[in-house]
């Protein structure tokens, strides 16, 4: 079984489109969904309602920028300052094309920054490309487990 993708998205429409795109590339069964930044940290650190989740890190985090409770930039800062999560790949998937957001994201340890396309087919193509690259093609850091599908 493939390690899950952690999808952090508060917008219901974008969430549904993202899950649809992941389903098209057979990755939808391997998705954990959280709706805000604090919930993302709880999931990653196995706190609160996620204390009993199966151990291990997701294959990558698909992270929105503008989130309730804790925004995406604060999530990435927390992840990179925590030993257990500092090497998890993080892709910011956001509607913001602001250079300041891009620069701040990379300065804080993002692995990729993708602006959400407005057009449906481009949106789903972008999600499928992200999902397939980070789950099937990317080679994780040494010492982390990766299970490949046959």
The predicted-structure confidence for 68-94, as pLDDT tens digits, reads as follows 999 999 999 999 999 999 999 999 999
With contact defined as beta carbons under 8 Å apart, do 75 and 8 qualify?
A: yes
Residues 46, 84: Cα–Cα separation, whole Å: 11
- Amino acid 150: pLDDT: 33
Residues 93, 127: Cα–Cα separation, whole Å: 9
Long-range pairs, 111-116, Cβ under 8 A, ≥24: 111/60, 116/14
Neighbours of 136 (CB within 10 A): 14
Tokens of 50: 């996620």
- Amino acid 72: pLDDT: 96
- Amino acid 135: pLDDT: 80
Q: Where are the domains of the chain?
A: 5-128
Query: Is the Cα dihedral 73, 78, 81, 87 positive or negative?
Result: negative
- Amino acid 29: pLDDT: 78
With contact defined as beta carbons under 8 Å apart, do 91 and 114 qualify?
A: yes
Residues 34, 64: Cα–Cα separation, whole Å: 11
Question: What is the pLDDT of the chain when averaged over all its residues?
Answer: 89
- Amino acid 149: pLDDT: 37
For the whole model, what pTM was predicted? 0.88
- Amino acid 143: pLDDT: 46
Spans in the chain with pLDDT lower than 50: 1, 143, 145-150
Annotation: CATH topology of 5-128: Rossmann fold (3.40.50)
Burial bucket for residue 126 (CB in 10 Å: 0-12, 13-18, 19+): middle
């Amino acid at each position: 079984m493939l390690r899950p993708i952690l999808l952090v998205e508060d917008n219901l429409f974008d969430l549904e489109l993202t899950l649809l795109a992941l389903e098209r590339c057979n990755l939808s069964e391997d998705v954990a969904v959280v709706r805000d930044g604090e919930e993302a940290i709880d999931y990653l650190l196995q706190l609160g309602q996620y204390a009993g989740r199966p151990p291990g890190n997701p294959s990558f985090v698909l992270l929105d920028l503008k989130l309730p409770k804790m925004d995406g930039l604060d999530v990435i800062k927390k992840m990179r300052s925590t030993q257990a999560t500092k090497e998890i790949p993080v892709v910011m998937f956001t509607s913001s094309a602001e250079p300041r957001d891009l620069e701040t994201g990379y300065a804080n340890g993002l692995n990729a920054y993708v602006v959400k396309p407005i057009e449906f087919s481009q949106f789903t193509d972008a999600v499928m490309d992200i999902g397939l690259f980070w789950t099937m093609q990317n080679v994780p850091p040494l010492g982390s487990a990766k299970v490949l599908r046959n």
